[in-house]
Amino acid sequence: MKVELAPRVRRPRRLERPGWRRAFDVSLAAVLAAYVVLWAWAVMDAVQRGARPAISARIATNPLDPSGPPEAAFLLDAALRLLFRNIVEPATGESGAVRVVIAAPDSAPLTPDSLPEGVAIEYRAVGDTTMRDTAHVPGQPGIWDMVVSARNAIRRVPNLRVISLVPISAKRGGYIGDYRVGNWPWEEGGTPRSPAYAPPRGLIPVHPEDVDIPVSTHFTLGDFLTKGQADVWPKYVLLSPRLLDKLELTIQQLERMGHPVENVGVISGFRTPQYNESGGDPSGRGALSRHMYGDAMDFFIDNDGDGRMDDLDGNGRIDVNDARVMAKAAEEVERRYPKLVGGIGVYPPTGAHSGFIHVDTRGYRARW
């Protein structure tokens, strides 16, 4: 005869019993509460006595050291949040795509309203992988990474470069070093018709290793170099972050209109006054070209990289209507952001190029 055995029931261990579990949780909570109270009292007592709390004493520890405490990393995170709120986010513009801050020769260093104790802002030369080369903006012209430091712990601020200008007073006889710049109208005196046409206060020095530095999502510093003087370095450039913002907003608007943009072609960015005299129109409106003031660009959409305007309107050929699609996007940007008003010009294909648009931020509406 087969005997059926009742299934074995496992008795709960003591801590698994409901009563014991509740008692254990209450005891653990009491211990943790006491620890927090005693820790807070110790910190306040140390501060009142003028002693340095342990958390400050240990800030010098490298947060990347596996054996080190994380306090420095926490402080750097707090500093980065302040930087993003006060400096980085405003610098990226309405588009969120601008990657540079331009510091005039006599401007104060960029710092947020407040920083955690023991944290400082430093500037390191772009490309300095040793993180040992320290400079202060605007004490020395150049292109800098912004670095947050807490003693031996350091972090770069991502997606932002600070450019400190070479003062225009460095120009001698139309040259800075061996690079021929020329002279702006009213540079020797007189009053321009508006502040937008005042001579620049400084120029960006550009070395060969700086050409590919991103200044926004779709543009690099090299996109704004004046043609010519190929073997002369450093070169010098004017560049307006407002222009970068308008260009990126125009690209974003094109994408909203159903025209994805992966690559742009640049006809002309900054033009020195010397180049404008020889390669541009030196009379009439050409004498006051916005290209000379760093807030104008002639460009086209070139996703396939063939050096020609893409067929944006889908009619199977490259014609002036493709540039008009771009101009429509720029018009919408000015409607939504009146502070970026300026010039929009449409250029049809010719033997030299396949069509493009001109965009600038001169401060008043101009169309051609």
Q: For 299-349, what is each residue's pLDDT tens digit?
A: 999 999 999 999 999 999 999 999 999 999 999 999 999 999 999 999 999
Q: Predicted confidence band at 8 (pLDDT cuts at 50, 70, 90)?
A: very low
Question: Half-sphere exposure of residue 247, counting CA atoms within 13 Å on the CB side?
Answer: 34
Q: Predicted confidence band at 51 (pLDDT cuts at 50, 70, 90)?
A: very low
Q: Predicted confidence band at 150 (pLDDT cuts at 50, 70, 90)?
A: confident
**d(Cα 132, Cα 305) in Å, to the nearest integer?**
39
Question: Half-sphere exposure of residue 128, counting CA atoms within 13 Å on the CB side?
Answer: 19
Mean pLDDT score of the chain, rounded to an integer?
Answer: 82
Q: State residue 146's pLDDT score.
A: 87
- pTM tops 0.85, yes or no: no
Q: Predicted confidence band at 96 (pLDDT cuts at 50, 70, 90)?
A: very high
**d(Cα 253, Cα 35) in Å, to the nearest integer?**
56
For the chain, give percent helix, strand, coil, nearest 5: 35, 20, 45
**Residue 275 counted as domain residue:** yes
Given 163, 185, 217, the domain boundary residue is 163
Task: For residue 45, give both structure tokens.
Answer: 């007592």
Tell me the pLDDT tens digit for each residue of 110-119: 766 677 777 7
Task: Answer yes or no: do 180 and 83 share one domain.
Answer: no
Task: Answer yes or no: do 223 and 344 share one domain.
Answer: yes
User: Is residue 18 predicted with pLDDT exceeding 70?
Assistant: no
Task: Answer yes or no: do 227 and 357 share one domain.
Answer: yes
Task: Answer yes or no: do 326 and 265 share one domain.
Answer: yes
User: Strand 366-367 and strand 343-347: pairing?
Assistant: parallel
Q: State residue 27's pLDDT score.
A: 63
- Alpha carbon 16 to its chain centroid, in Å, reads 57
Q: State residue 16's pLDDT score.
A: 46
The secondary element (H helix, E strand) that includes residue 297 is strand 296-301
User: Is residue 130 predicted with pLDDT exceeding 70?
Assistant: no
Task: Answer yes or no: do 252 and 287 share one domain.
Answer: yes
Domain hosting residue 340, numbered range: 165-367
Based on the structure, what is the number of domains in the chain? 2
Task: Answer yes or no: do 129 and 266 share one domain.
Answer: no
**Residue 228 counted as domain residue:** yes
Task: Answer yes or no: do 225 and 147 share one domain.
Answer: no
Task: Answer yes or no: do 360 and 279 share one domain.
Answer: yes
Q: State residue 131's pLDDT score.
A: 52
Q: State residue 79's pLDDT score.
A: 74
**Residue 65 counted as domain residue:** no
**Residue 46 counted as domain residue:** no
Task: For residue 338, give both structure tokens.
Answer: 């009146």
Task: Answer yes or no: do 147 and 175 share one domain.
Answer: no
Task: Answer yes or no: do 156 and 170 share one domain.
Answer: no
Given 106, 141, 163, the domain boundary residue is 163
User: Is residue 132 predicted with pLDDT exceeding 60?
Assistant: no
126 or 241, which is more confident: 241
Task: Answer yes or no: do 334 and 311 share one domain.
Answer: yes
Tell me the pLDDT tens digit for each residue of 200-227: 999 999 999 999 999 999 999 999 999 9
Of 164, 291, 297, 321, whose CA–CA distance to 218 is shortest?
Answer: 297
Given 116, 145, 163, the domain boundary residue is 163
Task: Answer yes or no: do 224 and 144 share one domain.
Answer: no
**Residue 43 counted as domain residue:** no
186: left (phi over 0), alpha (psi -120 to 50) or beta: left
